[in-house]
Amino acid sequence: MAVIDRFHGAIDEITETLALAAKIDADEFKEKLTVHFDRGVATHLFSVASGLKSVVPGEFEILGQLRRALELAQEEHTAGAELTELFVRALASGRRVRAETSIARGTTSFAQASVLMALEELGEDVVNAQVVVVGAGQLATGVAKSLLASPMNVGGVTITNRTSERAEALRDELADERVRVAALADLAAELSSARLAVVAIETPTPLLTKSDLAGLVTPLLIVDLGVPRAIASDVDQMANVRRVDIGDLRERVERVLDERHEAADAAAQIVLADVEKYLTDQRARGAAAIVSELREYFDEVVETELAKREGELGELDEEQREKVRSLIRSVVAKIAHRPTVALKEAAGTDQGIRLNEATRSLFDL
């Protein structure tokens, strides 16, 4: 998200920057880009925070992700007052949705839903089996907790991560004798004795390909939660490997959560109201700002003109000069009164936006 002055020029610059970071051609990137502005930005972010855009409706992990995104942006000094306010209000709306609707009832965690899908796939085969969890962040933590809490009673959970310190910290947090830590470099070897692997890590390139698993004998189910995919798609060609990803998870969740449509509708109404309140408050603040600027402009005009005419007022004493100044200020205030009232009354409406833009244009503010 960005606060910009020129929409189209800025979109091109942002697209090129993202394409460069992703190391793909900008034209290819544009084909997959969805652009929101003004109301669309707030509606999208509030919907994400509420869980309406999640694979698992109402999932709570997204709130933590949004909060960390804001904290990181603030640390990097890339989020000003406007973006900070937008995120803070979106987070508040997300919490309100979860408090006032049943959308968060039952299986709401993305991690929880992923584990349930895997356990349904494997059935009794997962009992006493070895499971590998790749990652040590919030999603991986949720996956590990759901696995350990499952009545299917997995035999052991091996955590592997880029940094062993985080993997060890997660192991200590879980405090379960079935949990151990292994190096990410040994992932292929760990999978050779595993029945299930859940990959919950972000990586620009696949961690494993078909060739890495060439010696695999034991059937293996891989739940790939990476975006983009953390496991290369060529493993699908292997007889002993079945890989499912977020797309498969979405289809399953949609089938089992049909009963949440009513809760989702209620959540959408809350989001709609919160977005409207946010935009109204933003526009009201914008009106207050331009009214202040307009008054400063008129005051500056008065003072400038009085300074220019100082010589012409030389024959007047101080009391008479003050009367002249008071008269001029009074006249200017009368002229400015109606525009400032109109700006305040129209705040938060489309007319207010037009008046704001016209005022800035007319008075070069």
Instruction: Note the pLDDT tens digit of each residue in 24-58.
Output: 787 777 777 788 877 888 999 999 998 888 766 77
Contacts (Cβ under 8 Å, ≥6 apart) of 49? 62, 63, 66, 90, 91, 93, 94, 97
DSSP conformation letters of 146-180: HHHH-TT--SEEEEEESSHHHHHHHHHHHT-TTEE
Residue 158 phi/psi, 5-degree rounding, is -105, 125
For residue 7, what pLDDT is reported? 65
Provide the 10 A C-beta neighbour count for residue 285: 15
The answer to whether 341 and 290 have CB atoms below 8 angstroms apart is no
For residue 290, what pLDDT is reported? 80
For residue 223, what pLDDT is reported? 92
Locus of tokens 């306010």: 85
Instruction: Give the helix/strand (H/E) hosting 140.
Output: helix 138-149
For residue 113, what pLDDT is reported? 78
All residue ranges of the chain with pLDDT < 70 are 5-8, 55-56, 105-109, 252-260, 286, 348-350
Note the pLDDT tens digit of each residue in 174-233. Answer: 999 999 999 999 999 999 899 999 999 888 888 888 988 888 888 999 999 887 788 888
For residue 8, what pLDDT is reported? 65
β-sheet bridge partners, residue 132: 158, 197
C-alpha 132/C-alpha 168 separation (Å) is 14
C-alpha 227/C-alpha 221 separation (Å) is 18
Architecture of domain 110-256: 3-Layer(aba) Sandwich (3.40)
DSSP SS3 for 196: strand
C-alpha 134/C-alpha 162 separation (Å) is 9
Please report, in angstroms and rounded to a whole number, the separation of the first and last CA atoms in the chain.
Answer: 26
The answer to whether 352 and 343 have CB atoms below 8 angstroms apart is yes
Q: How far, in whole angstroms, is CA 194 from its chain's centroid?
A: 34
What is 7-106+260-269's CATH superfamily? Glutamyl-tRNA reductase, N-terminal domain (3.30.460.30)
pTM of the model: 0.54
C-alpha 242/C-alpha 196 separation (Å) is 10
For residue 23, what pLDDT is reported? 76
* Nearest residue to 241 (alpha-carbon basis) of 214, 222, 215: 222
For residue 51, what pLDDT is reported? 83
The answer to whether 115 and 196 have CB atoms below 8 angstroms apart is no
For residue 171 the two structure tokens come to 């192991």
C-alpha 262/C-alpha 268 separation (Å) is 10
Please list, residue by residue across 324-345, b when 16 or more beta carbons sit within 10 angstroms of its beta carbon and e when fewer do: eeeebeeebeeebeebbebbee
CA atoms within 13 A on the CB side of 234: 9
The answer to whether 44 and 38 have CB atoms below 8 angstroms apart is no
For residue 312, what pLDDT is reported? 77
For residue 203 the two structure tokens come to 């990586």
C-alpha 14/C-alpha 214 separation (Å) is 41
Parse the chain into domains and list their residue ranges: 7-106+260-269, 110-256, 276-363
